[in-house]
Amino acid sequence: MTADTWAGPWHDTRLPLTERVDALLAAMTPEEKAGQLGSYWHRPDDEPGGDVAPMEGDMTGPAAFEAAIEHGLGHLTRVFGTAPVPVADGVADLRARQAAVVRASRFGVPAIAHEECLTGFTAYGATIYPTPLAWGAAFDPELVEEVAAAIGRDLRAVGVDQGLAPVLDVVRDYRWGRVEESIGEDPYLVATVATAYVRGLQSTGLVATLKHFAGYSASRAARNHGPVGVGARELAELLLPPFELAIREGGAGSVMPSYAAVDGVPPTASRALLTTLLRDEWGFGGTVVSDYWAVPFLRRTQRIAADDDGAGALALAAGVDVELPETVGFARLAPGPALDEAARRVLLQKGRLGLLDPGWAPRGDHDADLDSPANRALARRLAERSVVLLANDGTLPLRAAGRGPGRVAVIGTTAVQPRTFLGCYSFPNHVLARYDGDGLGVAVPTLLEALRTELSDAEVPHAAGAAITGDDRSGFAAAVALAAQSDVAIVAVGDLAGMFGSGTSGEGCDAPDLALPGVQAELVTAVLDTGTPVVLVVVSGRPYALGALAPRCAAVVQAFFPGEEGGAAIAGVLSGRVEPSGRLPVAVPRTASGALPTYRAAPLAQRSDGISSLDPAPLYPFGHGLSYTTVEYRDLTLSTASMPADGQVDVTVTVRNAGRRPATEVVQLYLTDHVAQTVRPVRELIGYRRVPLGVGEARRVTFTVHADRTSFPGLDLRRVVEPGTFTLAAGPSSEMLPVAAELEITGDAPRVLAGPRVMTTPARVD
């Protein structure tokens, strides 16, 4: 760059940022403005087969980096996350590319460097945290915020500015491959946990990106990129609230539209979503970045544009600001107000990141430790809190008072394959799986290793039994023989995440039904037939049907891809070193049949008494999870039995540990609307709180419920609070609510809500 580069008012930090950006825009040519909306993704020439992003092999961007940055550049795509790059090499590459971008710009404007960070920084050697479905199982937004801050510090340490996370898609069909990336099936749980992640990541100075706006998880037949046929009410009530909370209260800096067309309109081309709702109604002031190649998809797969330039024009007019991962549809944008508005938003974001400041230089620590002991300790805490004890006849914990573990057989490939602990956006499954070799870049102890450490005085032999996929039963005999000679058999089954059909879970790995993959269910049955007590451990990215297996098991444990410390976390729960406190963020189905209703369904959807031959009742409901003690609920009281449509009520419940071990209870508060102008769910979660309880200890939990928390889209789709009778019930799951009280909302007519509303239910513990 030259000395003249820094001569403009856009680098004068004494001026308001808006004035600096307006001055810069006024000096830019249309080509330079368009340059700020593009991106570049360098992929090695010797990159092995298999796509990192959908249809990657069918897409080509600019022929050379120099051509891509000729007029400036908006984003640099995944310098660290595309190939196994050591930290020092990645930092050097990013610095060199940023220097080139600055030299190519008349105004010295760097690019925003973005990376994936859903289960941690998706880079070689970075900590692999539990997957988002495990965040939901932990019911612990505060801990998720801590984890996100740690991820943000690592990203920032090597020069990254923006993270493409979290995912706020509410699970609608368990067969969908991206269930593992979602936080759960309840919009309030998704909203609160995702907003905590946003706060944590952005507390480090990074930009968080909300994915995938909106409706993606409701695709027909649970097929990736499938059309979404939901109505406006379901969209407004179930699928949009997490995004709204993350924007209004989390301050999210970026939003990524989804691939799937909603009622025939791709969100990437929907001005109603990206401008009218997102910006005009919700006041979003950040940037909208396209999902990878979603702009050319408007032509190539959705056929609403005749060519890539037309696709770019549609996306820009709708409100997309940056095309990722490389510039295709935005390569030749026409001058005009839409171009100016998008460029202004991108430059404002760059200004907030400090990229317009005089003296800016690319940062990056060549020696950054991306898998520090502190990171691993956080990963273990979250993993431990996410493990769910579904059933137990007293066999667990293995180290019960006065009883040793004896001979413990460990059966299953999941017990010895560390990749089964990791989600599809972990670097080993996302990138390294396409390379030869078994290296993971980080230490991931297996469940077998962890159990042998945990039960050091026991004999812990192993037999694979069967692979995760395929129909090879040749290992059954050895597994059965081992189980028959043991005091207890731990049978570990589940998923191996991958991308676009390369795994049993993950993006593009949708399931035809909810049966365990391969012949794993047959293996469990064969071991059960020995008569040895079986502890079934499911490590998966979605819930699987366990109705034919669980009732025969001594205990059942569920872990949703618990990350690099997952082996120790599961082993700790099995031994009793860790008190189980995870709760189900998705129900576990009884049967493997296809689309089952989630818990937040209308009365008719949850009935089977002659209405349908299909029983929709789950085996284990949303919110379910046991501990190694007994917790009692009593004395639910309301501060008032009636309130106006803009009032609030304190709901207090007492929980007491009546057992002989400490526990952490997840106290859940549900609302039932007795009569409404539209069909309402049987119940909906409106509050929750983790409560530690010592032996014999009782504590009071008080939820403050504003009347806005009873609101819903009325007949005309305006959100209303209706007068009427409601039940507020508390308990350990959506189907076990031992204490309840009725609340009356008074008034003569519904109260119409316009603009911001109370979207959370604060709780305190005394």
Please identify which residue in the block is written with the tokens 């570990």. Answer: 492
Name the token pair of 402.
């006065």
DSSP of 218-267:
GBGGG-TT--B---HHHIIIIISHHHHHHHHTT---EEEE-SS-BTTB-G
- Distance, CA of 674 to CA of 607 (rounded, Å): 17
- One of 11, 114, 212, 225 is an active-site residue; which one? 225
Which is nearest to 94 in space by CA: 107, 104, 81?
Answer: 81
CA distance linking residue 34 with residue 400, whole number of Å: 66
C-alpha dihedral (385, 388, 393, 394), degrees to nearest 10:
-10
Coil, helix or strand for 416? coil
Determine the residue type at 340.
D
Q: Which of 140, 169, 173, 291 is catalytic?
A: 291
The C-alpha atoms of residue 672 and residue 681 are separated, in whole angstroms, by 7
Sign of CA dihedral 632, 634, 639, 641: positive
- Provide the token pair at 170: 């509410």
Peptide bond into 325 cis (omega under 30): yes
Nearest Cα neighbor of 539 from 88, 133, 264, 215 is: 133
Annotation marks residue 42 as catalytic: no
Q: 402: buried, middle or exposed (CB in 10 Å: 19+, 13-18, 0-12)? A: exposed
Determine the Cα–Cα distance for residues 765 and 702; give it in Å rounded to an integer: 6
89 catalytic per annotation = no
> Position of tokens 């770019």?
312
Pairing status of strand 555-560 against strand 388-392: antiparallel
CB environment 444-455: b (16+ within 10 A), e (fewer) = bbbbbbbbbebb
Classify 539 as helix, strand or coil.
strand
Is residue 628 within 8 Å of 397, Cβ to Cβ?
yes
Distances from the Cα of 216 to the Cαs of 225, 308, 625, in angstroms?
7, 23, 28
Q: Say if residues 167 and 182 touch (Cβ distance below 8 Å).
A: yes
Alpha-carbon separation of residue 345 from 281, 342, 693 (angstroms): 17, 5, 48
CB-facing half-sphere around the CA of 602: CA atoms within 13 A? 8
Residue 399 burial by CB count (10 A; 0-12/13-18/19+): exposed, middle or buried? middle
Tokens (6 digits) for 88? 């020092």
Task: Please spell the DSSP secondary structure of 555-608, one letter per residue.
Answer: EEEEEE---TTHHHHHHHHHHTSS------SSPBPSS--S----SS--GGGG--
Distances (CA, A) of 69 to 106, 145, 183, 189: 11, 36, 37, 42
Other C-beta atoms lying within 10 Å of the C-beta of residue 232: 12
* 300 Cβ neighbours under 8 A, 6+ residues apart: 55, 58
CB 683 within 8 A of CB 730: no
3-state secondary structure (DSSP) of residue 676: coil
Are the beta carbons of 562 and 539 closer than 8 angstroms? yes
CB 170, CB 238: distance < 8 Å:
yes
Please give, one letter per residue, the 3-state secondary structure of 73-105.
CCEEECCCCCCCCCHHHHHHHHHHHHHHHHHHC
Catalytic residues, which ones?
225, 291
